[in-house]
Structure 1
Amino acid sequence: MIKNMALGIVFLFSGFASAQNTAMTGTEAKAFVAKVSAESRQIKTLQSDFTQTKKMDFLDKSIVTQGRMSLKAPNTLNWKYTKPYQYAIVFKDNKIFINDQGKKSSVDAKSKTFEKINKLIVGSSNGQMFNDPEFTVSYFKNNGFNIAKFTPRSSQLLKYIKQIELYFPKNQSTVSQVNMLEASGDTTNIVFKNTKTNAPVPASEFSL
């Protein structure tokens, strides 16, 4: 249950964009990765509102949730759902802290699955995921976005995820949308808005 919830949070990724995508050339991909990686290293904090849409084969309607994400470098993260329910998960000090509508718990994050979840969430915001040896990355573009598609190499991750797409608006180095296709065939989409970088974030934001 926790594992599935955490994965749903993370990747934060359902309806794939309909714009026509074309593959980047090797030169374009190299320049894109270098730009995003260099600029994201300057990010110490990141905050963003999000809307998550999850489509599941056995449900007629999509599940839509809203919340706010707060990140503090190098690897402290708060993923907080506010509508239609209250649920928060904090990654900090190799642990996962959960507040499920007032019911609090913690999980050791040193297992490979949870370690990867944390790494991927943080990596999707700071560009470090481009260097993850457990993924094959391909790069595309359309009129509005640069797109990085990640395909897991790890058999462990392939149990849960088939592909992740990160959408970067042109001339921007932070992710505005993430799509995930799960092994089950379900999809998750998260759209970020009102993103702020390097704004003060109180320590209480990462305490449940």
Structure 2
Amino acid sequence: MITKIMNVESTIKTIQCNFVQIKRLSMLNDKMVSHGRMIYQKPSSLHWEYQSPYSYIFIINGAKVLIKQGGKKNSIDIKSSRMFQEITRIMMNSVTGKDLMSSSEFNVKMYTQYNDWIADLVPKRHQMKSMFSTIRIYFDSNKSIVSKIEMFEKGGDKTEIELRNVQINTHINEKLFNLD
């Protein structure tokens, strides 16, 4: 499974898709549903845009994180924040499944369920352990690409992101990785 996923990952240059994110809050016994789009381009560009129920854009472009919320724009140097380094790495690697081979970062358990291959990633490093107990990545076994990500937080909250209408290796406008 891992070999097939890594072989497909090595051929991916771009990914475009819509997503549905469900955040389940353990203390409130409630869920928040968001919709948006994601655009990824190797080696280090990601456009993550929430379109409803609110508008929020999070862009990773090399060593910079760009954020647009409301009318405000912010730029953060990833190297200046260890937390942003971790978040950036998780986002970029989860989209492609790259962390499956990172034995220094995670204990990885792979298994099959229905038409999905599932990878449970349990963090090894303290910084990651303080945020997540497990990151679960679902792969469409026919295409060997990520279809869903579940992040189980230490406090009991859970974030589920389902990728829909996934398009691989299509043309992407470079302007999507800037806020100008």
The CA distance in 2 between the partners of 1:76 and 1:93, in whole Å, is: 6
Corresponding residue of 1:193: 164
Matched to 1:125, the amino acid is: V
Matched to 2:176, the amino acid is: E
Q: For 1:93, which of 48, 62, 65 is the aligned residue?
A: 62
Q: CA deviation at 1:165?
A: 0.4
Deviation string 1:2-41 (CA, Å, 9 cap, x unpaired) is xxxxxxxxxxxxxxxxxxxxxxxxxxxxxx1111101111
Matched to 2:25, the amino acid is: M
Q: CA deviation at 1:112?
A: 2.8
Corresponding residue of 1:172: 143
Deviates more, 1:116-125 or 1:71-80: 116-125
The CA distance in 1 between the partners of 2:116 and 2:169, in whole Å, is: 23
Give the aligned CA root-mean-square deviation in angstroms: 1.1
Deviation string 1:63-98 (CA, Å, 9 cap, x unpaired) is 000000000101100100000110000011211110
Are the aligned partners of 1:96 and 1:107 in contact in 2 as well (CA < 8 Å)? yes
SS at match of 1:136: strand
SS at match of 1:200: coil
| Residue 143 in structure 1 maps to residue 114 in structure 2 | yes
Matched to 1:113, the amino acid is: M
Question: TM-score if structure 2 supplies the norm length?
Answer: 0.94
Q: Percent identity?
A: 32
Report the number of matched residues.
177
| Residue 52 in structure 1 maps to residue 21 in structure 2 | yes
Query: Unaligned 5+ residue runs, structure 2?
Result: none
Query: Unaligned 5+ residue runs, structure 1?
Result: 1-31
Corresponding residue of 1:204: 175
Corresponding residue of 1:78: 47
Q: CA deviation at 1:171?
A: 1.8
The CA distance in 2 between the partners of 1:94 and 1:58, in whole Å, is: 35
The CA distance in 2 between the partners of 1:114 and 1:67, in whole Å, is: 21
Q: For 2:88, which of 118, 137, 148 is the aligned residue?
A: 118
Are the aligned partners of 1:40 and 1:125 in contact in 2 as well (CA < 8 Å)? no
Q: Which fold has the larger relative contact order, with Cα–Cα distance below 8 Å and residues 6 or more apart in sequence?
A: 1
Matched to 1:90, the amino acid is: I
The CA distance in 1 between the partners of 2:144 and 2:72, in whole Å, is: 36
